[in-house]
Amino acid sequence: MAIRLGPNRYGKAEVRLVRAGGSSGIQDLNVSVALSGDLEATHLTGDNGGVLPTDTMKNTVYAFAREHGIGSPEEFGLRLARHFVATQPQIKSAKITIQGYEWERLGPHSFQRRGDHTRLTVVTVIGDESQVVAGIEGLVLMNTTDSEFHGFPRDRYTTLPETTDRILATEVNARWRGVADFAAVKQSLVDAFVGTYSYSLQQTLYAMGSRVLEEHPEVAEIRLALPNKHHYLVDLSPFGLDNPGEVFIAGDRPYGLIEGTVTRDDTQPAIAEWF
């Protein structure tokens, strides 16, 4: 029995980059770099001969934004990832994670930050291969009706009544493999949420995922993580009041959490963990 180093990576996280001044408005990104490869020496002996400083990664992010522009976050991520793999002999793989914050234009040089969602980009380059994952985080949606939940198994610990009318609310967190138009994928997700008469949040999840695959052939597969943001109908009977689906407690914790992948049966496997 011997002790040895297993999988590892290192990098600079959360490099906050804003690019202004171009005709495309503001680009507001949070960029993280993670590199892996032959990094045993620094772990075992502190020999840093192969350890490009994380400070250099930060510098590279800022310099590339000026040298090459950003373009789409997918392009920017690929450019960065390929650079590190190509120029650092010991580095075999680079993962670039980008959170993007959107701003709405208010005037020729004035903007308002939208706070309703974050755009996610995760690019992985391994040698000559690459993988692009896009996503959305934090988009909160609600249907005030057209949601039921019944027919579930009951055991000794089940007290939940069946319901044929409830609020369905969730925060959409999704990641998809492939390069597609972000706004259009977002619209597909929203359309499916709005348009699905739901018997379970799982059914809504599948409807959202399959809608994206149907409408965006560039997307190979999609993973959704949907918290069930429970809204509890308040029992107002102690006060002599009815409550016909009107007054709710918005709960914090606990919450349901529904996670699922929707895929194509002919999808190429991912080259790296993607959700």
Q: How many CB atoms lie within 10 A of CB 190?
A: 16
Least Å from the CB of residue 129 to its own copies: 21
Q: How far apart are CA 84 and CA 57, in angstroms?
A: 9
Residues from 193 through 222 that contact its own copies (CB under 8 A): 193-195, 198-200, 202-203, 205-206, 210, 213-214, 221
Least Å from the CB of residue 179 to its own copies: 18
Residues from 153 through 172 that contact its own copies (CB under 8 A): 153-160, 167
Q: Considering 54, 56, 261, 263, which one is annotated as catalytic?
A: 54
Residues from 118 through 137 that contact its own copies (CB under 8 A): none
Q: For 176, which DSSP code?
A: E
- To the query of whether residue 45 is one of the catalytic residues in this protein, the response is no
CA distance readout (Å), 3 to 104, 119, 196, 222: 53, 41, 53, 38
Q: How far apart are CA 92 and CA 64, in angstroms?
A: 21
Q: Identify whether the C-beta of residue 55 lies closer than 8 Å to the C-beta of residue 13.
A: no
- Under the binding rule (CB under 8 A), the answer on residue 86 touching its own copies is no
- Can you tell me which of 24, 38, 53, 71 binds its own copies, judged by CB under 8 A? 53
- Under the binding rule (CB under 8 A), the answer on residue 184 touching its own copies is no
What end-to-end distance do the CA atoms of the chain give, in Å?
33
- To the query of whether residue 230 is one of the catalytic residues in this protein, the response is yes
R_g (Cα) of the chain, nearest Å: 23
- Which has the closest alpha carbon to 181: 33, 101, 72? 72
- Under the binding rule (CB under 8 A), the answer on residue 138 touching its own copies is yes
Residue nearer to its own copies on the CB measure, 72 or 138: 138
- Under the binding rule (CB under 8 A), the answer on residue 244 touching its own copies is yes
